[in-house]
Amino acid sequence: MEVKVPDNTALADVVLHPVRLRIIQQLGGRNRTTAQLREALPDIPQATLYRHVAALVDAGVVAVVDERRSRGAIERTLALGDRMAAIDHAELSAMSGAQLRTAFLTFLGDVTGDFDRFLSADSLEARELVGFARTPLYVNSEDLATIQAGLAELLTPYLTEREDGRHRVTLATILLPDP
């Protein structure tokens, strides 16, 4: 089955698929070869993985940053592309309630899958890095933009992979207005 996604497709339609979300998470802040993706995502059949990588590349969410020949095949190195995998407020606002629920549940399913894989690894060292909390904030749209800009500035030094003993963690954010 072909999974081609046109470049002008809504970003949510591209990234809100469980396999594509996992690929995007693997690439965040680092380059990965297709072989490294296969190793990191062993539960996804190779053909399925390659179809979804191709869909992300076609949509500009993932970019091929290098290609080299390996045992007669082309090994591609991938990174996040120019069309970042963040769905903006305009696209979220345009979604119906049912579409927004599906997008949110897909996101939660992805985070839950990551948590399940973390638990399966049963690493005491990694348990020192896990946490979750909820904090009520009182904001308007301008305040939220200021917070998001400040977070982006604060997090920028930690967004790329380094070889200095630091561990990769995922920071997931959810903003839920009180009804």
CA distances, 77 to each of 36, 60, 62, 94, 141 (Å)? 9, 15, 10, 34, 39
More confident residue, 83 or 102: 102
38-61: per-residue pLDDT in tens? 999 999 999 999 999 999 999 888
Residue 18: both structure tokens together: 């469980």
Q: Mean pLDDT across the chain, nearest whole number?
A: 85
CA distances, 64 to each of 14, 28, 51, 165, 174 (Å)? 17, 14, 14, 27, 30
Minimal CA–CA distance to 44: which of 117, 101, 138, 115? 117
| pTM > 0.75: yes or no | no
Residue keyed to tokens 């290609």: 67
- What the chain holds in terms of domains, given with CATH numbers, is 11-123 (1.10.10.10)
User: Residue range 103-112: average pLDDT?
Assistant: 86
